[in-house]
A and B are shown apart, each in its own frame.
Chain A
Amino acid sequence: MSAEWGGRWCVPADHSGLAALQAQASAWLAQAGVDAHATHRILLALDELAANIVEHAAQGRDGHAFEVCLQQGNDGIEVLVSDNGPTFDPTAQAAPAPARSLDEIPVGGLGLVLVQRLADGFEYQRVGRSNRLRLRFRTQPVAAPPAA
């Protein structure tokens, strides 16, 4: 794990916190020169994980917050999401069986399905009282500026 994270935010676990996180992460990714497709994937995965924490880990507790960190890795962006809610390993959730009809599609759990498909790497650790999720997203190389 790198010691330095390029972006680090403590996010209130409520809907205003989710909206603020999207704006902050979007600005950081733009400044880092991340391509539009990877930016979309990262922001969507962050939104899904953060919404999951708001719905399940925070469980309406006032003052609950979680931490999100972003950094540039060798071939993309690394994301670390930490919260001190109950132990929950989203990487261990089995993918739902393919639905045969509209009525069979589960309306819950779609967010984690998306995260598992959006990220190029997705790992979970329980560290002390904290859930730590590390995600990796490959990005397109940033074009070098033209020579003067």
Chain B
Amino acid sequence: MSTPRFEVASSPQVLSVWFHGRLDSAGCAVLNDALLAQVEQVEPNQQLRFDLAGSDFVASAFLRLCILAARRVGGERFELAHLTPLVREVFVMAGLDSHLRIGGAAAP
């Protein structure tokens, strides 16, 4: 199981982060500092989008990163996109679906 990674693209409106690989506890420990540093780069007029089309596994360590990111930019400017059904289930199970904006599902 390979180490996860992420890619970033920024437009005037959105800073998008695409994740690839399993976002389990060990993987999130690797990504933690670099990801939070990216979140600090979000401009006041930008949205922050985490795109999870490339990941089929998230642990609570990743949920924690999402909470911290959403708090940093404000909940209304943070969005999760392209969650697989299993990943969406984890957010729902943790009760985060009512506090984080969850966008379109991943392509089948």
Binding site for B on A (CB under 8 A): 15-16, 18-19, 22-23, 26, 36-37, 40, 43-44, 47-48, 50-51, 54, 98-99, 101-103, 105, 107-108, 110-111, 113-114, 117-118
Contact = CB atoms under 8 A, between A and B. Distances in A.
Given A44-B59, A48-B60, A114-B90, A105 B96 contact: yes
Interface of B is mostly: helix
A117 B89 CA distance: 11
Contacts, number: 75
B67 A101 contact: no
B70 interface: yes
Contacts of A98: 95
Interface residues of B, number: 27
Nearest to A113: B94
A112 to B, nearest CB: 9
Most buried by A among B1, B29, B60, B63: B60
Interface of A is mostly: helix
Contact of B57 (A18, A43, A102): A43
Given A98-B95, A99-B95, A114-B90, A18 B68 contact: no
Contact of A51 (B61, B96, B100): B61
B25 A51 contact: yes
Most buried by A among B1, B25, B99, B100: B25
B25 to A, nearest CB: 4
